[in-house]
Amino acid sequence: MVTERLTQLADRQALSDALADETTAAHSPDPSRDGLGGGDGLGGWTNRIGLLLVDVDRFREIAAEVGPDGGEEVLATLATRMRPALRSNQSLVRLGGDEFAVVLPDADREVAERVAHALLAQLEEPIEVDSGGVRRRLKVAASVGVATCRLPREDPSALVQQASVAVWRAKQSGGGVSHFELGAEQPSRQPPIGELRVALEQGDLEVYLQPQVRLAGGAICGAEALARWRHPQDGVLLPASFLPLAAQTGLMRPIAATVIELALRACARWWSQGLEVPVSVNLGASDLMDDGFTDRIPHLLAAHDLPARALRIEITEDVFLSDRSTVAELIDRWRSAGMMVALDDFGTGYSSLAYLRELAIDELKLDRVFVTDLARATTATIVRHTIAMGHGLGVQVVAEGIEDAATAEALAQMGCDIGQGLHFGAAMPLEDFLRRLHQDGDGR
Q: Is 282 in the site for Ca ion (CB under 5 A)?
A: yes
Name the residue with the smallest CB distance to ligand C2E.
Answer: 421
Instruction: Compose the 224-253 pattern: x for residues touching ligand C2E by CB under 6 A, - for all others.
Output: --xx----------xxx--x----------
Query: Which span sits near ligand C2E by CB under 6 A: 48-56, 65-73, 89-97, 282-290?
Result: 282-290
Touching ligand C2E, residues 178-217 (CB under 6 A): 210
CB 49 within 8 A of CB 37: no
Provide, rounded to whole angstroms, the least separation between the CB of residue 312 and ligand C2E: 12
Q: Is 344 in the site for Ca ion (CB under 5 A)?
A: yes
Provide, rounded to whole angstroms, the least separation between the CB of residue 99 and ligand C2E: 18
Q: Is 284 in the site for ligand C2E (CB under 6 A)?
A: yes
The residue (of 116 and 227) whose beta carbon lies closer to ligand C2E is 227
The residue (of 91 and 282) whose beta carbon lies closer to ligand C2E is 282
State the Cα–Cα distance between residues 88 and 352, nearest whole angstrom: 51
Instruction: Compose the 252-271 pattern: x for residues touching ligand C2E by CB under 6 A, - for all others.
Output: -------x------------
State the Cα–Cα distance between residues 344 and 163, nearest whole angstrom: 28
State the Cα–Cα distance between residues 306 and 109, nearest whole angstrom: 46
State the Cα–Cα distance between residues 227 and 243, nearest whole angstrom: 9
Provide, rounded to whole angstroms, the least separation between the CB of residue 117 and ligand C2E: 30
Question: What sign has the CA pseudo-torsion 328, 334, 336, 342?
Answer: negative
The residue (of 241 and 282) whose beta carbon lies closer to Ca ion is 282
Of 170, 85, 75, nearest to 119 by C-alpha is 85
Provide, rounded to whole angstroms, the least separation between the CB of residue 347 and ligand C2E: 12
State the Cα–Cα distance between residues 95 and 102, nearest whole angstrom: 10
Amino acid at 397: V
Instruction: Compose the 7-46 pattern: x for residues touching ligand C2E by CB under 6 A, - for all others.
Output: ----------------------------------------
Touching Ca ion, residues 297-316 (CB under 5 A): 314
β-pairing, 205-214 vs 418-420, is antiparallel
The residue (of 226 and 266) whose beta carbon lies closer to ligand C2E is 226
- Burial label for 12, CB within 10 Å (0-12, 13-18, 19+), is middle
Touching ligand C2E, residues 379-408 (CB under 6 A): 400-403
Q: Is 427 in the site for ligand C2E (CB under 6 A)?
A: yes
183: Cα separation from own chain's centroid: 19
Q: Identify the DSSP state of 95.
A: E
Q: How many C-beta atoms surround the C-beta of residue 262 within 10 A?
A: 21
The residue (of 91 and 282) whose beta carbon lies closer to Ca ion is 282
Q: What are the helix (H) ranges across 238-372?
A: 243-248, 252-271, 285-288, 291-303, 324-336, 352-358, 368-372
Query: Which span sits near ligand C2E by CB under 6 A: 104-112, 145-153, 181-189, 420-428?
Result: 420-428
Q: How many C-beta atoms surround the C-beta of residue 219 within 10 A?
A: 15
